[in-house]
Chains A and B, each alone.
Chain A
Amino acid sequence: MIKFFLMVNKQGQTRLSRYYEHVELHKRTLLEAEVIKNCLSRSKDQCSFIEYKDFKLVYRQYAALFIVVGINETENEMAVYELIHNFVEVLDKYFSRVSELDIMFNLDRVHIILDEMVLNGCIVETNRSRILAPLLVLDKMAET
C-alpha cells in the first residue's frame, strides 16, 4: 500500500502532499522534513529506495523537485518508481512542460491527476488519457 505521496523541493518546501493514512498535522511537517533530508543526503549513484522506519521510501528527482512515495512491503519498489515517472509524464502532458510553478498555482489540478492515479493507497489508473479525462471535462466547463 502507498502510505503517502510527496512533492518537496530542494529547499524543503512541500509542494504537494497526499496521505493515505491519517497522520497528525504536526507529525506531517516533521515527517516531510526528515524525508527530504534523507533524500537530499543521497548521491546519484545511491539507490532510489530508502528504508525508513517501518516502511520504504521510493524517490525520484526532477530538477529541483523530489517526488517521494512512502510504501509498505506489499508494494513493488520498481513499479512505484515508474509510477512516479508516469505521474510526471501526465503532468507534463497536461501542463505541456511542467514546472514547479505549474504545480504551485494549479494545486487543485495536480490533486485531481493524482487522485485519478492513486486512490486510497492503491494504483487505480495508469492510462494517461483516461487520467486526464475528468480534468479536460472540468476545463471545458470552466471555459463555458
Chain B
Amino acid sequence: MVVGFVVGGTEPLIGKSKEAEIKRINKELANIRSKFKGDKALDGYSKKKYVCKLLFIFLLGHDIDFGHMEAVNLLSSNRYTEKQIGYLFISVLVNSNSELIRLINNAIKNDLASRNPTFMGLALHCIANVGSREMAEAFAGEIPKILVAGDTMDSVKQSAALCLLRLYRTSPDLVPMGDWTSRVVHLLNDQHLGVVTAATSLITTLAQKNPEEFKTSVSLAVSRLSRIVTSASTDLQDYTYYFVPAPWLSVKLLRLLQCYPPPDPAVRGRLTECLETILNKAQEPPKSKKVQHSNAKNAVLFEAISLIIHHDSEPNLLVRACNQLGQFLQHRETNLRYLALESMCTLASSEFSHEAVKTHIETVINALKTERDVSVRQRAVDLLYAMCDRSNAQQIVAEMLNYLETADYSIREEIVLKVAILAEKYAVDYTWYVDTILNLIRIAGDYVSEEVWYRVIQIVINRDDVQGYAAKTVFEALQAPACHENLVKVGGYILGEFGNLIAGDPRSSPLIQFNLLHSKFHLCSVPTRALLLSTYIKFVNLFPEIKTTIQDVLRSDSQLKNADVELQQRAVEYLRLSTIASTDILATVLEEMPPFPERESSILAKLKKKKGPSTVTDLEEIKKERSSDMNGSAEPTPVNASNVSTPSPSADLLGLGAVPLTNSAPAPSSSGSLLVDVFSDSSVAVPLAPGSEDNFASSSDLASSEVVSEEPADAVHDADELIHKFICKNNGVLFENQLLQIGLKSEFRQNLGRMFIFYGNKTSTQFLNFTPTVICSDELQSSLNLQTKPVDPIVDGGAQVQQVVNIECISDFMDAPILNIQFRYGGTLQNLSVKLPITLNKFFQPTEMSSQDFFQRWKQLSSSKQEVQNIFKAKHPMDTEITKAKIIGFGSALLEEVDPNPANFVGAGIIHTKTIQIGCLLRLEPNLQAQMYRLTLRTSKEAVSRRLCELLSEQF
C-alpha cells in the first residue's frame, strides 16, 4: 500500500509570502475574536470550527492569546464533539502554569465521575498531556483507583496508566506508593494487550526509581514476553503487525527487564529461551517481503540484544548477538548498519564478546571507507575505538589516520583525540607513538588541540629511549616547506631539549637545526615565537658554538624592540642571561627538563568532555587494559588548573632557579598557558619573584586538589585503596571526579550500622535517572544484610541527595559491598562502581581488660589457626599518638600498661555479628630502627584473624 500525499496543493490560510500569510492570519484572528465577543451566542458547531482554526494558526507558530475561555466552555459541554475539541485545544495550547487549570480541573472532575468511558478517556488524556502540579494535587489519589478498579474499561485503564506516569514524573511526592502498586504490576498479566502496553511504560518508570517494590514485574514481564514470542502470528489478532506479534509491546517489556540484573535461575531459563527464539527468528526466512515486517522484527531484535548486553552474563547469547550484528553490518539497509554499529560498540566492552566483535574489524574499516552517511561513519569510528586493543591497535590507528585525511570536518577533532589516546595507550614501541602523533599534526594540524601536543612532549621527556628518535623525526618533519604551527611547537620544544642527540650528524648540526627552526619563526604566532625563543636560549647551553649566532638574533631590533611585551621581554632577558651567566650557571638554569610526574593524559579528559565521559571510562574499566607504564592514574587533570600555575612566563622552560629573571612582568596568560600544561604540577615550578607567590600558592592548591581527585578514580579499578581510607574512620569523601562527589557518614553499634551516602552533583546540569545500587556478592549476601532506600532519580546541578543504608552483620565476612551508580549526564550514561567501606572491624566493640586477663586469653588463642601475623614496612611516619588513634579508630579498645614493653600497642574487642560473637586480641610491635611493624591478631576464627590483620596492616 502506498500512502499518497498530495504534493503542495491548496492554501487555505497560507498566502504566497510570509507577509501575506501574516496579514491573512491577523485578519482571520480578528474575525474569530469578533465572533467570540459578538452578542450572538455561537452554536456548538461554529465554536468548534473557530477553535479548530485557532489550533491551526497556533501550529503555524503564532501565539494565541484568546479563545481559552471558549475552549473551557466547550469541554464542559455535554456533547462529545464539543467536549473533544475543547480538551484538544486545552491540551495543545495550555501549559501547566496556566490560571485556567482550576476551571479545567472542575470539568475533569465531572468527567471522571461521569462513568462514561469516552468522557473519562478525554479527561485522563488531558491530565496526561498537561500534568500540572495542581492537577496532580487534585487527582493523584483518584487515578490509581481508576487504574486498578475491576470494572474500569480497558481503554480507560490505558489512559489512567499513562496519566499516572505523567503525574509521577511531574510530582512524585504526590503519588504515594500503596496497595495499588502490586496490582499495577499484575496489569502485565492483563488479557488486553493495549492495557499491558500502557502499564509497561508506567511500571518501567516506577521500577527505575523503586526497583525493590516492583521486583515482581520481572517474572511477569518474562512470562508475558515468552507468550508473545512463542505465539503464532495469528494469536494476537490486531496486535500483530505485518506478521510480527506485538512488536512495540515486546520492545517495552525488554526495556523493562533492563531495569534489573539477570533474574533468578528459574525465570532466567525462560528468558534465555525467549532471547534465543528472537535470535533464531532473525535467521528464519521472512514471513513477508514487506519492509515493515523486517523493521518490526528488527526493532525487537535490537532491544533483545540490548538486554543481552545489559545482563552481560551469558557468553553464548553475547556471541550470537555479535554474529547477528555482524550480518547487519553488511546489510543493504543503512538504518540497520547504523544501529548494528551502535549496538556493537557497547558489545565490544563486554569481556565475553570483545573477541567476537574484533573479528568484524575489516567490515568496520570498510564501512569507514565506503559509507555515504557521515553519521554511520561516525559510528564506525566509535566502534573501532571501542574494539581497539593491543593486538589491533596499529591497524586501527593506521586506518583512522587514513580516514582522517578525508574525514568530515565535524568529526575531525574527535578522531584526532581518539587516535592520540589509542596511540598512547597501546604503544609498545614509542617510536610508533611519536610517528603517529606527528602524522596527526601533519594530516589535521588544525584539529590537534593543545592537550595532544603537550602530551607527546611529556612522554618524550619521560622516556629517554625515544628522545633521540623524536629529535630526529621532528627534525625531518620540519624540513617540509609548509608545516603546521603545532609541528613547529613540538619541534621547537623537543630540539631545545634533545637537539644535542642528533647534533653529531653533520646533516643536523646545531647551526642547521637553529636555521631550520628560525626559518619558521616569522610565520608563527606570538605564543609559538615565545616558545622558540626559549628553545634558542636552550641551544645556547646545548651548543656553545652557535651562541653568537643566537645572540645576534636575540639582539636584532625585531626581537629587542618587538611590539609584543612578552617576546620583547624574553629576548632581553635571554640575551642578558647568555651574556653574563657563566657556563655553569647556564648549564644549571637551562638543564634538561626533569621527568613529569606520571599522570593521566589530559587528552582523555578532553574526549570525555566532548563525548560525555562514559564512552571512554566504561571501556577503560571493563577492558582493564590500561597501560600501567604510562597512565599512572585515571583521573583527568583539569586543564585550566594549569593555566594559572605559571609564576613567570619563562619559568617553565628554564626549569629550576632561573634567578636572573626575577623581575619578570606578570605573564600574559596566553603565552603562559602555552608552555605550562606540559608540566602543570607546581612542585616543579619554583616560585621566582615575590610578586608571583600568590600565583604559586593558588597553583599548588589546585595541584593538591588534583591529587585528592585522582585517588578515588583509581579506586574504581582497585577499590581496596579506598576501603583502607575508611578503616579507622567513619566519615569522609569516598569518591570524587569532575561530575560527582560521594561523601559518607556512618555509625555502627554492635552488629548494626547505618550509613548515610551523600551524592553531590558538581556540575550545573541535572543528572537524570540517577540510580545508585548497592550490590553484594552472593557470598556476601548471606553474611551482610543491607537495605537501601531509593533516591530521587533527578539530581539538580549543584544539589546534593542523601541515601541511607541500613546494615546488619549476620556473620563474619571478607569482601566489601559495591556501590554502583548510574546516571545520565548530558545524554550519556555514566556508570561507576566503588567499594563501600563496610568492613568487619566496623562491628567491633572495645573491651577493657587487665594485663593478666589479656595474656591469659592471649595464651588460650595460641594455636596456629587462631593467630595471624604480618611483618611489614612502615608506610607512614611512626608516630605513637597517631598509631594509638588508629587502633581506637579501628574499633578495639587500646589497652595501656598491658604489654611489658611500653613501645608496643595491644588492643582487645569483640566483633558482633547476629549469629556469632568473636573475641579479638591484637598486638602491634613497632621497630623504629628498621621502620618495621609486626602485627599479631588472635581470634577464635582464622578467617577473622586474617581479615582483621589485612585491614589493619594497611594503616601504618
A residues at B contact (CB < 8 Å): 9-11, 13-18, 20, 22, 25-26, 28-29, 32, 43, 45-51, 54-55, 62-65, 73-74, 76-79, 81-83, 85-86, 88-89, 91-92, 97-101, 104-105, 107-108, 111-112, 115, 119-120, 122-130, 133-134, 137-138, 141-142
- Can you list 15 residue pairs at the A/B interface with Cβ under 8 Å? A11-B8, A17-B59, A29-B61, A45-B373, A47-B337, A47-B375, A73-B827, A77-B299, A77-B302, A82-B248, A115-B91, A115-B125, A119-B125, A126-B239, A126-B248
Q: How far is the CB of A12 from chain B (nearest CB, A)?
A: 11
Q: How far is the CB of A137 from chain B (nearest CB, A)?
A: 6
Cβ-defined contact, B88 with A111, below 8 A? yes
Cβ-defined contact, A51 with B81, below 8 A? no
User: Counting CB contacts under 8 A, is B900 at the interface?
Assistant: no
User: Counting CB contacts under 8 A, is B376 at the interface?
Assistant: yes
Q: How far is the CB of B203 from chain A (nearest CB, A)?
A: 11
Q: Once the chains are docked, how many angstroms separate the CA of A134 from the CA of B87?
A: 14
Cβ-defined contact, B372 with A81, below 8 A? no
Cβ-defined contact, A130 with B335, below 8 A? no
Residues of B within 8 A of A142 (CB): 81
Cβ-defined contact, A18 with B92, below 8 A? yes
Cβ-defined contact, A124 with B197, below 8 A? yes
**Also in contact, A86 and B241, with CB within 8 A (given A64-B8, A115-B125):** yes
**Closest residue on chain B to residue A48 by CB atoms:** B335
Q: Once the chains are docked, how many angstroms separate the CA of A104 from the CA of B85?
A: 15
Q: How far is the CB of B152 from chain A (nearest CB, A)?
A: 15
Cβ-defined contact, A123 with B252, below 8 A? yes
Cβ-defined contact, B194 with A124, below 8 A? yes
Residues of B within 8 A of A82 (CB): 241, 247-248, 292, 295-296, 299
Q: Once the chains are docked, how many angstroms separate the CA of A54 from the CA of B828?
A: 9
Cβ-defined contact, A101 with B248, below 8 A? no
> Of the 9-residue stretches B161-169, B511-519, B780-788, B866-874, which lies at the interface with chain A?
B161-169
Residues of A within 8 A of B303 (CB): 76, 79
**Closest residue on chain A to residue B52 by CB atoms:** A108
**Also in contact, A123 and B197, with CB within 8 A (given A18-B92, A78-B295, A142-B81):** yes
| Residue in A10, A47, A100, A101 whose CB lies within 8 Å of B334 | A47
Residues of A within 8 A of B337 (CB): 47
Q: How many A-B residue pairs have CB under 8 A?
A: 207
Residues of B within 8 A of A77 (CB): 299, 302, 335, 339
Cβ-defined contact, A78 with B239, below 8 A? no
**Closest residue on chain B to residue A83 by CB atoms:** B248
Cβ-defined contact, B5 with A100, below 8 A? yes
Cβ-defined contact, A120 with B8, below 8 A? no
Q: Once the chains are docked, how many angstroms separate the CA of A55 from the CA of B198?
A: 23
Q: Once the chains are docked, how many angstroms separate the CA of A89 from the CA of B335?
A: 21
**Closest residue on chain A to residue B62 by CB atoms:** A25
Residues of A within 8 A of B113 (CB): none
Residues of A within 8 A of B248 (CB): 79, 82-83, 123, 126
Interface residue ranges of B356-374 to A (CB < 8 Å): 372-373
The B interface is mostly helix, strand or loop, or mixed, namely: helix
Residues of A within 8 A of B239 (CB): 126-127
Cβ-defined contact, A108 with B55, below 8 A? yes
**Also in contact, A63 and B6, with CB within 8 A (given A29-B61, A76-B303, A78-B298):** yes
Q: How far is the CB of A15 from chain B (nearest CB, A)?
A: 7
Cβ-defined contact, A47 with B335, below 8 A? yes
- Closest 6 A/B residue pairs (Cβ): A63-B5, A78-B299, A29-B61, A122-B201, A79-B299, A54-B827
Residues of B within 8 A of A100 (CB): 5-7, 9
Cβ-defined contact, B61 with A28, below 8 A? yes
Q: How far is the CB of B492 from chain A (nearest CB, A)?
A: 39
**Closest residue on chain B to residue A73 by CB atoms:** B827
Residues of A within 8 A of B375 (CB): 46-47, 49-51
Q: How far is the CB of A136 from chain B (nearest CB, A)?
A: 11
Q: How far is the CB of B335 from chain A (nearest CB, A)?
A: 5
Interface residue ranges of B78-100 to A (CB < 8 Å): 79-81, 84-85, 88, 91-92, 95-96
Cβ-defined contact, B61 with A98, below 8 A? no
Residues of A within 8 A of B79 (CB): 141
| Residue in B61, B91, B198, B246 whose CB lies within 8 Å of A122 | B198
Cβ-defined contact, A107 with B197, below 8 A? no
Q: Once the chains are docked, how many angstroms separate the CA of A7 from the CA of B393?
A: 46
Residues of B within 8 A of A88 (CB): 3
Cβ-defined contact, B56 with A45, below 8 A? no
**Closest residue on chain A to residue B828 by CB atoms:** A73
Cβ-defined contact, B338 with A47, below 8 A? yes
User: Counting CB contacts under 8 A, is B121 at the interface?
Assistant: yes
| Residue in A45, A81, A97, A124 whose CB lies within 8 Å of B201 | A124
Cβ-defined contact, A120 with B88, below 8 A? no
Cβ-defined contact, B163 with A101, below 8 A? no
User: Counting CB contacts under 8 A, is B934 at the interface?
Assistant: no
Residues of A within 8 A of B334 (CB): 45-48
**Also in contact, A137 and B95, with CB within 8 A (given A99-B6, A101-B6):** no
Residues of A within 8 A of B166 (CB): 120
User: Counting CB contacts under 8 A, is B14 at the interface?
Assistant: yes
Q: Once the chains are docked, how many angstroms separate the CA of A108 from the CA of B84?
A: 9
Cβ-defined contact, A137 with B118, below 8 A? yes
Q: How far is the CB of B301 from chain A (nearest CB, A)?
A: 8
Cβ-defined contact, B121 with A62, below 8 A? no
If A107-B52, A120-B162 are given as contacts, then 4 extra A-B residue pairs at C-beta distance below 8 Å, sorted by A number, are: A100-B7, A108-B52, A111-B55, A137-B118
Residues of B within 8 A of A98 (CB): 3-5
Cβ-defined contact, A45 with B302, below 8 A? no
Residues of B within 8 A of A134 (CB): 118, 121, 155
Cβ-defined contact, A127 with B238, below 8 A? yes
Q: How far is the CB of A37 from chain B (nearest CB, A)?
A: 15
**Closest residue on chain B to residue A65 by CB atoms:** B5
Q: Once the chains are docked, how many angstroms separate the CA of A35 from the CA of B202?
A: 29
Cβ-defined contact, A22 with B96, below 8 A? yes
Residues of B within 8 A of A49 (CB): 335, 338-339, 375
Cβ-defined contact, A78 with B6, below 8 A? no
Interface residue ranges of B193-244 to A (CB < 8 Å): 193-194, 197-198, 201, 238-239, 241
Q: How far is the CB of A143 from chain B (nearest CB, A)?
A: 11
Q: How far is the CB of A133 from chain B (nearest CB, A)?
A: 8
User: Counting CB contacts under 8 A, is B129 at the interface?
Assistant: yes
**Also in contact, A79 and B80, with CB within 8 A (given A47-B334, A105-B12, A124-B162):** no
Q: Once the chains are docked, how many angstroms separate the CA of A98 from the CA of B241?
A: 20
Cβ-defined contact, A63 with B197, below 8 A? no
**Also in contact, A47 and B373, with CB within 8 A (given A62-B3, A78-B299):** yes
Interface residue ranges of B1-41 to A (CB < 8 Å): 1, 3-10, 12, 14
**Closest residue on chain B to residue A142 by CB atoms:** B81
Q: How far is the CB of A35 from chain B (nearest CB, A)?
A: 13
User: Counting CB contacts under 8 A, is B131 at the interface?
Assistant: yes
Q: Once the chains are docked, how many angstroms separate the CA of A48 from the CA of B100?
A: 40
Q: Once the chains are docked, how many angstroms separate the CA of A73 from the CA of B829?
A: 10
Q: How far is the CB of B732 from chain A (nearest CB, A)?
A: 34
Q: How far is the CB of B267 from chain A (nearest CB, A)?
A: 23
Q: Once the chains are docked, how many angstroms separate the CA of A43 from the CA of B334?
A: 11
Q: Once the chains are docked, how many angstroms separate the CA of A81 from the CA of B372?
A: 21
Cβ-defined contact, B14 with A54, below 8 A? no
